[in-house]
Amino acid sequence: MREPASQRRSRRAPVLVAIVGGSGAGKSWLADRLGQALGGKTARVSLDDFYHDRSRVPPALRSRINFDHPRAIDWSRVERALRDLRAGRSARLPRYDFKTHCRQPEGRVQPPRPVILMDGLWLLRRPALRRLFALRIFIECPAGLRCRRRLARDRRSRGRTAESVRRQFRETVEPMHARFVTPQKRWATDRLKSTFGPREVRQLAQKVKQNLEFGI
């Protein structure tokens, strides 16, 4: 007897979508809009929550750490979480406080969903991770616009001064962007310009639906 279609769909691996680009490129905005377009069958995961905990580093020294280098990320925990979600299991995710550069005491448990949207600076650099994503979206955005967006965000939500944001952007963000972020374009399945809007969101949502092979 043939298995009902609903049961076959329930066992399909979730579709993982990587949204990659520089700081301030619009990754979170795109993830929000894609989630809305896909009708609530999505979960959001951010690479930002996987920064190494710096609670053992004296506060005066934390600001000297290069947080724009991929080694600042706990990659083994990233891979474990993604493999759990892709296997249809709940994943334990950390939470990161950018004001203190420490992990918050309580993380969160993310149940599996049909679509996992993950945004981050360096999701496509590691082959083992790259292979987990059905769609790999790269957002191209000019430095001036990214700097203005980061300035507004960090002053509002991370307690930063304008001068410290500009200095970090000049000294580490842009050099690390050129070295580690930009080269990932070669592995993207979809590349967006900074002027992307609702039309591109709809097109990407349709690609996700095609990967899911059921109507949303």
**Which structural domain range is residue 112 located in?**
13-211
CATH number, domain with residue 180: 3.40.50.300
Inside any domain, residue 2: no
What 8-state DSSP symbol labels residue 125? S
Q: Does a structural domain hold residue 100?
A: yes
Q: What is the pLDDT of residue 11?
A: 56
pLDDT in tens, 73-87: 999 999 999 999 999
The helix/strand/coil state of 196 is coil
* Euclidean distance between CA atoms 20 and 28, whole angstroms: 10
CB-based contacts of 173-181 (< 8 A; 24+ apart in sequence): 173/22, 173/23, 173/68, 174/143, 175/68, 176/66, 176/68, 176/69, 177/22, 177/23, 177/68, 177/143, 180/69, 180/70, 180/121, 180/122, 180/125, 181/20, 181/21, 181/22, 181/121, 181/122
Token duo for residue 157: 């939500």
173 assigned to some structural domain? yes
Alpha helix segments (H runs only) across 38-157:
59-62, 75-86, 127-130, 143-157
Considering the domain boundaries, does residue 216 fall inside one?
no
Which residues contact residue 51 at a Cβ distance below 8 angstroms, ignoring those fewer than 6 apart? Answer: 67, 72, 73, 74, 96, 101, 103
Q: Give yes or no for residue 170 having a pLDDT over 70.
A: yes
Is 50 exceeded by the pLDDT of residue 9?
A: no
Domains in the chain, number: 1
Mean pLDDT of 57-70: 91
CB atoms within 10 A of CB 171: 12
The pLDDT score that the predictor gives to residue 8 is 45
More confident site: 96 or 160: 96
Q: Which of these, 92, 112, 90, lies nearest to 16 by C-alpha position?
A: 112
Average pLDDT, the chain: 90
Give the model confidence (pLDDT) of 43-57 as tens digits: 999 999 999 999 999
Model confidence at 215: pLDDT above 90: no
> Is 193 inside a domain boundary?
yes
Residue 1 lies in a domain: no
Residue 202 covered by a domain:
yes
